[in-house]
Structure 1
């Protein structure tokens, strides 16, 4: 005799229908990212008594084809009509990456092959269909199906070839090496091969079509190094001129801190305070005070320029700072975020003058563990400005200074903080920096290797600690602010790096832990290929960026992190300063601001890299012309069937030899 299944009660049926509806709505949400059944159950906030019913609901949705299960993760099926919008970033070689407006099935960017960009150019807002069949461990691929808004009406480039009838062919970095750009110039206008020009786009071309432009103006000639920065300003649409209202507001503050400015602040002018910065720095964001009590505890005060006192929300300075979002640094010059009256004067923590600051005052035990902290507005007076070289010379006994005991104590605490950081799994690459030296006309005169010595390390450790303390403080108190986040590398990238490391004789697992990686970088640091291995891994990591949502920081192995210590040159830090003292923002507004700060940071980084590489190439050209038989030491970095890539060690730039 067959047993009949008991009928569901109308109440249970209704609960199941509601669960099905709520689950579908959640999975259809634009911000939904694939997750497991356990995570879904938790995110939906369902009571434990519905867990079995929820499992059956998911199974039913999968059977009906309304939900897809891939591995342990549940996805909502996508169609051709389900598109992702965002900003397209185009590489000089023609391919691109979509930076999505909102999170979707995958974190990170969407790769767009060169032939699928649909004539879109760098900075365009576009719609992209994601190809879910082409998803690899590195992320998804997609194709542009619509250009929503064009990023620009003008482009910068270099004349490559003169053509008949008042035309020329130009190379436009924005469009890539394969794009054919034709520019019309007025009669009697002198244009020659090598001229760097700005053009108005009349008609965008594509894969097999020419882009047609009109000449707007000339910047100079490619042989003139003084044009390198102006050309980058045009190419990357940097804002290098301040509006009159912005300059007027900056001048209105005068050149000195007033008694009214100091009201309500903790007076730390008698405290021993000093700065350590690069030789050429003018915008001193941070100063340090450090002492040790008779219990062996460290009293570390990190003083940061109180930019928010002068840059009020919505003011002319604030509006311009937000548009710029950061300072852009080139060899020998800078395009600042703030007017010079603030960046190099009133906000800069120069020695022997009174300055307004925000202080993070920390007490750490003898092992460098944080015991307590305070964050408050202060008045300080730095007693000394050290360069990194000067501080190192004092530590090495080459230069006498009454502050040597203070510097020795900083080295001591630095060692403790590094130990704490290493023990939690943070990575340190200790890469030297190559600074290109230029004269007043922008001509490169040589290079300077800046070693990542103990003076750099101790300032970095103190800044990292202050940033961590501020981020944790704001997060634990429920504030919306600008996190600095860093996602884990893709598994495929880790596997590839493990193979690269093995080729150099270093054995790590296919999915190396942070501890394994740090051991590798420590061992390789003083070898000829230490810098290459570190750079190779950095290129395989995902980029850190600003976000209103927190996912932690992979590289630093921190659950909470933000940028707080450089408000003169980063708008994200200014956001954090304001929130600290009650100037709150909505979550949606923070999302908007962090998206812009991240975008402008990437653009500035590309502009800086472009100009720095050009200066290196100018140096290389000069060296080889002076001595055609000169030999350069290099490291082979990648071997292909058709040739190999190498890095010129003296200039830290990559080349290729075709076989």
Structure 2
């Protein structure tokens, strides 16, 4: 390079170093990271403090990082990890040597004071224990000890010392209305509003279509599906309708149309809307609100497939055999006019009764086809991993009103099977065209995890084959459906699986048993689907580097949203359970024992959608003994046995919002307790009577005998 290009060289080296491809060493020298066994990636931290790094390069196995080797890494950071090599080691492990990019510098926590220092304890247990701060200044409202605050980390040089920071916002007392959800929003860096330029762009698009419908020019050149009997099926509180379906019989075959909102027509690459959507990555569904990926002028209006208005779509048109097999598929841009919007409850009601009109008949036909597709999917190796979901309904004050259980019934399955079919077809088409895109991938679990889980299953005397063979996994899951212990073991199997993510490489989907799979059907709420639409229909091809970067980013935003959604539910549930403790009228809940330990047992409470622990100290009137071999807890007095898979009744015992932990106590049935204690009481009385008879019949003691006995007792005590 020429002497005047020194700044260009320095800038390039800094970029490569930030990407983790090179490392600066002593003497202002550089080495390639790969040569030094250094791997860049994003670290995910568990609540127990252990880290797992997913390498930037697709296809690499995750790297575990013990808590002692985390240095100053926090959940979501991009880090550089040095691999450890140990003889006979199967799993990859390493230690963090450098922070490449902070996922967050602002943390939400509780302001607290010791005799000498003021500090903030983070709400997220995956973050450092405390952050030392000076007295808050110029933050709008006075900070009081116990308030929720936002602190910005200013200095953290070593994992051996606590970080330092500065309070930049006071949210208020934790029990003040609205502070709980504001804490979640700030903690996960979720925006409450769109930037002005993004709103202006969305409003300009809406204003150019006064009747809130696409113009005749926009509809020209598209396949006109407006005469078709198109319908949507969504949750009752949904406002953004991504997908619609239509099906017609053609002799011995069926023609199926899967229509997806054409967001790419309005959101162009590089536009303000696109930049913001890319940054958000997806919509986030908190318990009391939605943080949308796109402004409502698009997400709830112009893009939403509402009934009785024209809407632009991307369509996958299938020809299906009467047995549910795909004969052919084609892809094109279309225009539709939905005939009716069904909620899941309405669709379920239609399917439970004879059809009254053409639309309801189509719904019945679509249901039959969906069930045939579903049967073939499981026959081809798909795994049944569904659990019922809970929907929390809040009152006008933001408190828990009721908790509804949402079952995956046939109305949900109808839409689910058609969407899976479209996702698979689009992935196959993209692979056939050899175009860069992003794919939805779910990698096979590690053999060690499967073997460990198999040993756990066998320890409970449940037959289990080699779980590295998919048919054996299906057999086990089917067997677990029939056993009382089944749900608990099924939860254990889910823990052994890898997390689904996005990648540039089409690595397939283990859970669905699909070698070709992507996300195509929800572009209003997922940026991945918008990228896939462009890859399939636009002439400009996505560059490989951009596709890899997008996949990594949206995997992170998806995880961030999932954590925020979980926390938003938990803060409302914690307040709900605390109110039960204050009222001294706790509700009783049926629970499933999912793990047994020497200090208590873990339970899953389906009606709350929460897991927690029942400590042995919370079990009244008994002392339990733990057998580490059989992993059973046995009551010394009642002889009650607690094992994995047991159904028990629990009440709330303690709520620790800071550590995000809930303790339950076991509800003992007084009648059962009384029955179990009678034999014990009777036995004691019999022993006492026998001892009295022995004393009466015993020969007279010799002189000095009592003194000798006393001396022996003294020796024993010593």
Q: Place the TM-score, normalised by the shorter chain, in its bin.
A: 0.7 to 0.9
Counterpart check, 1:437 vs 2:398: no
Do the aligned partners of residues 237 and 572 (structure 1) sit closer, same or farther apart at CA in structure 2, a change above 3 Å counting?
Answer: same
Give CA-to-partner distance per residue, 1:328-375, whole Å, 9 cap, x none.
111131111111111111101111111100110000111111111111
Counterpart check, 1:386 vs 2:330: no
Give distance in 2, aligned partners of 1:101 and 1:638: 34
Give distance in 1, aligned partners of 2:233 and 2:353: 17
Q: Which residue of 2 aligns with 1:276?
A: 233
Pairing 1:610-649 to 2, within 5 Å after superposition = 610-628=567-585, 630-649=587-606
Pairing 1:341-360 to 2, within 5 Å after superposition = 341-360=297-316
Counterpart check, 1:658 vs 2:615: yes
Q: Which residue of 2 aligns with 1:446?
A: 402
Q: Which residue of 1 aligns with 2:53?
A: 98
Counterpart check, 1:162 vs 2:113: yes
Q: Which residue of 1 aligns with 2:284?
A: 328
Q: 1:404 aligns with which of 343, 349, 360?
A: 360
Q: 2:121 aligns with which of 154, 162, 171?
A: 171
Do the aligned partners of residues 446 and 622 (structure 1) sit closer, same or farther apart at CA in structure 2, a change above 3 Å counting?
Answer: farther
The 3-state SS of whatever aligns with 1:253 is helix
Give distance in 2, aligned partners of 1:242 and 1:530: 46
Q: 2:63 aligns with which of 96, 105, 110?
A: 110
**Structure 1 position 535, deviation (Å):** 3.1
Do the aligned partners of residues 320 and 512 (structure 1) sit closer, same or farther apart at CA in structure 2, a change above 3 Å counting?
Answer: same
The 3-state SS of whatever aligns with 2:421 is helix
Counterpart check, 1:520 vs 2:476: yes
Report if aligned partners of 2:467, 2:473 keep a CA contact under 8 Å in 1. no
Do the aligned partners of residues 224 and 407 (structure 1) sit closer, same or farther apart at CA in structure 2, a change above 3 Å counting?
Answer: farther
Report if aligned partners of 1:121, 1:175 keep a CA contact under 8 Å in 2. no
Give CA-to-partner distance per residue, 1:534-568, whole Å, 9 cap, x none.
33322211111111112221111111111000000
Q: Which residue of 2 aligns with 1:184?
A: 134
Q: Which residue of 1 aligns with 2:653?
A: none
**Which residues of structure 1 form unaligned runs of 5+?**
1-29, 32-77
Counterpart check, 1:81 vs 2:36: yes
Give distance in 1, aligned partners of 2:42 and 2:329: 41
Give distance in 1, aligned partners of 2:34 and 2:244: 55
Report if aligned partners of 2:305, 2:311 keep a CA contact under 8 Å in 1. yes
Report if aligned partners of 1:162, 1:192 keep a CA contact under 8 Å in 2. no
Counterpart check, 1:374 vs 2:330: yes
Counterpart check, 1:569 vs 2:525: yes
The 3-state SS of whatever aligns with 1:133 is coil
Give distance in 2, aligned partners of 1:606 and 1:171: 19
**Structure 1 position 531, deviation (Å):** 4.2
Higher mean C-alpha deviation, range 81-90 or range 111-120: 81-90
Equivalent pairs counted in the alignment come to 578
Give distance in 2, aligned partners of 1:218 and 1:284: 38
Give distance in 1, aligned partners of 2:579 and 2:357: 41
**Structure 1 position 460, deviation (Å):** 0.6
Give distance in 1, aligned partners of 2:348 and 2:278: 36
Q: 1:424 aligns with which of 380, 398, 401?
A: 380
The 3-state SS of whatever aligns with 1:393 is helix
Give CA-to-partner distance per residue, 1:171-209, whole Å, 9 cap, x none.
214563761222323379633344211112232275542
Give distance in 2, aligned partners of 1:630 and 1:640: 25
Give distance in 1, aligned partners of 2:312 and 2:482: 42
Give distance in 1, aligned partners of 2:215 and 2:137: 59
Counterpart check, 1:543 vs 2:531: no
Q: Which residue of 1 aligns with 2:699?
A: none
Task: Determine which structure has more spread, i.e. the larger CA radius of gyration.
Answer: 2
Q: 1:121 aligns with which of 63, 74, 89?
A: 74
The 3-state SS of whatever aligns with 1:403 is helix
Report if aligned partners of 1:349, 1:382 keep a CA contact under 8 Å in 2. yes
Query: What's the TM-score once normalised by structure 2's chain length?
Result: 0.76
Q: Which residue of 2 aligns with 1:461?
A: 417
Give distance in 1, aligned partners of 2:509 and 2:581: 44
Give distance in 2, aligned partners of 1:177 and 1:307: 37
The 3-state SS of whatever aligns with 1:86 is strand
Q: 1:142 aligns with which of 76, 94, 102?
A: 94
**Structure 1 position 86, deviation (Å):** 2.0
Report if aligned partners of 1:485, 1:544 keep a CA contact under 8 Å in 2. yes
Higher mean C-alpha deviation, range 612-621 or range 500-509: 500-509
**Structure 1 position 120, deviation (Å):** 2.0
Give distance in 2, aligned partners of 1:624 and 1:516: 46
**Structure 1 position 122, deviation (Å):** 2.4
The 3-state SS of whatever aligns with 1:427 is coil
**Structure 1 position 569, deviation (Å):** 0.7
Counterpart check, 1:200 vs 2:152: yes
Q: Which residue of 2 aligns with 1:263?
A: 220
Do the aligned partners of residues 107 and 186 (structure 1) sit closer, same or farther apart at CA in structure 2, a change above 3 Å counting?
Answer: closer
Give distance in 2, aligned partners of 1:330 and 1:262: 36
Higher mean C-alpha deviation, range 439-448 or range 310-319: 439-448
Give CA-to-partner distance per residue, 1:280-307, whole Å, 9 cap, x none.
1111100010122222x12110000000
Q: Which residue of 1 aligns with 2:243?
A: 286
**Structure 1 position 630, deviation (Å):** 3.8
Give distance in 2, aligned partners of 1:84 and 1:435: 41
The 3-state SS of whatever aligns with 2:36 is coil
The 3-state SS of whatever aligns with 1:447 is strand
Do the aligned partners of residues 517 and 627 (structure 1) sit closer, same or farther apart at CA in structure 2, a change above 3 Å counting?
Answer: farther
Q: 1:606 aligns with which of 546, 563, 571?
A: 563
Report if aligned partners of 2:604, 2:611 keep a CA contact under 8 Å in 1. yes
Report if aligned partners of 1:483, 1:561 keep a CA contact under 8 Å in 2. yes
Report if aligned partners of 2:42, 2:77 keep a CA contact under 8 Å in 1. yes
The 3-state SS of whatever aligns with 1:367 is coil
Give distance in 1, aligned partners of 2:41 and 2:169: 31
Q: Which residue of 2 aligns with 1:307?
A: 263
Do the aligned partners of residues 643 and 225 (structure 1) sit closer, same or farther apart at CA in structure 2, a change above 3 Å counting?
Answer: farther
Report if aligned partners of 2:523, 2:530 keep a CA contact under 8 Å in 1. yes
Give distance in 2, aligned partners of 1:340 and 1:246: 11
Give CA-to-partner distance per residue, 1:300-323, whole Å, 9 cap, x none.
100000000000110100011111
**Structure 1 position 402, deviation (Å):** 5.3
The 3-state SS of whatever aligns with 2:85 is strand
The 3-state SS of whatever aligns with 1:185 is coil
Do the aligned partners of residues 177 and 259 (structure 1) sit closer, same or farther apart at CA in structure 2, a change above 3 Å counting?
Answer: closer
Give CA-to-partner distance per residue, 1:2-42, whole Å, 9 cap, x none.
xxxxxxxxxxxxxxxxxxxxxxxxxxxx99xxxxxxxxxxx
The 3-state SS of whatever aligns with 2:452 is helix
Do the aligned partners of residues 94 and 134 (structure 1) sit closer, same or farther apart at CA in structure 2, a change above 3 Å counting?
Answer: farther
